[in-house]
């Protein structure tokens, strides 16, 4: 499947990645989607405090 999404390499300690994969599996997501969900949540909280990022 081809898409136009930018790629970003994330360096993360193996132990943390394994925990993310465990949580993702528990939630029925891929590790990538789990990380994306966490980023979305972080952005939303930031914007609630500081206003929308343009």
- Taking the C-alpha atoms of residue 25 and residue 34, their distance in angstroms, rounded to an integer, is 9
Output the six-digit token pair for 5: 């999404």
pTM, to two decimals: 0.84
pLDDT value, residue 3: 83
pLDDT value, residue 2: 65
Main-chain phi, psi angles of 9, to 5 degrees: -90, 125
Average pLDDT over residues 5-26: 97
The per-residue pLDDT for range 17-53, each reduced to its tens digit, is: 999 999 999 999 999 999 999 999 999 999 999 999 9
- Taking the C-alpha atoms of residue 32 and residue 16, their distance in angstroms, rounded to an integer, is 13
């Amino acid at each position: 499947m081809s898409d136009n999404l930018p790629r970003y390499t994330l360096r993360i300690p193996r132990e943390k990645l394994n925990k993310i994969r465990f949580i993702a599996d528990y939630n029925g997501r891929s590790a990538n989607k789990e990380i994306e969900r966490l980023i979305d949540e972080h952005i939303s909280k930031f914007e609630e405090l500081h206003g929308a990022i343009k």
